Amino acid sequence: MTQTPELAYSISATTREPRAGEIDGKNYYFLDKAKFEKMIGEGGFLEYANVYGNYYGTPLGKIQERLDQGQDILLEIDTQGALNVMNKCPNGLFIFLLPPSIGELERRIRGRGSETEESLAKRLGAAKAEIAVGRKYGYVVVNDTVRNAVRHIKCIMTAEHCRIDRNQDKIEELEQ
């Protein structure tokens, strides 16, 4: 995010165990189930969902801090969470990252080394339904390489910032 200082990455919270090399507060906020459920009860999440037997959610306090600082927020969330955010933030910018193919998606998931054959089959089975939900997003980016995906996302964000409806105050100021 250092290349785009006006963009803040939202760190999600989860109840799943950290994978090798993951750091609490950097990759995720790793919470136990009781703490996560307490935060749910207190309205502490912009969105949350139970995915593959673990909770995942976007801590609301961190989002509000960044918005108050004038930053855009990048949420890396699944389709279930995105649908919840779409309902709460209909003016948000929603970009669906599409894998180049189901075969490549399988290769990437296997590469993590954290899935059983059963959980892999469950994830791949859910992928087609998630891809169908992608039709509800405003944009789609094929995640063939990180470099290309980032370039496309930056272009979309730039275009969104230039929209007339987001710049009415500037136009009105100059018309006077």
Each domain of the chain, given as residue ranges in start order, spans 94-176
Please indicate, yes or no, whether the overall pTM of this predicted structure exceeds 0.75. Answer: yes
Cα–Cα distance for residue pair 53/65, rounded to 1 Å: 30
Q: pLDDT (tens digit, 9 = 90+) per residue, 44-80?
A: 999 998 988 999 999 999 899 999 998 999 999 989 8
Instruction: With a cut of 50, list the residues of the chain below it in pLDDT.
Output: 1-2
Nearest to 95 by CA among 50, 51, 135: 135
Contact 74, 9 (CB under 8 A): yes
Query: What is the architecture of the domain spanning 94-176?
Result: 3-Layer(aba) Sandwich (3.40)
What is the model's pLDDT at position 32?
97
Angular region, 124: left φ>0, alpha ψ -120 to 50, beta rest: alpha
- The whole-number pLDDT of residue 2 equals 46
Q: H or E segment at 29? A: strand 29-30
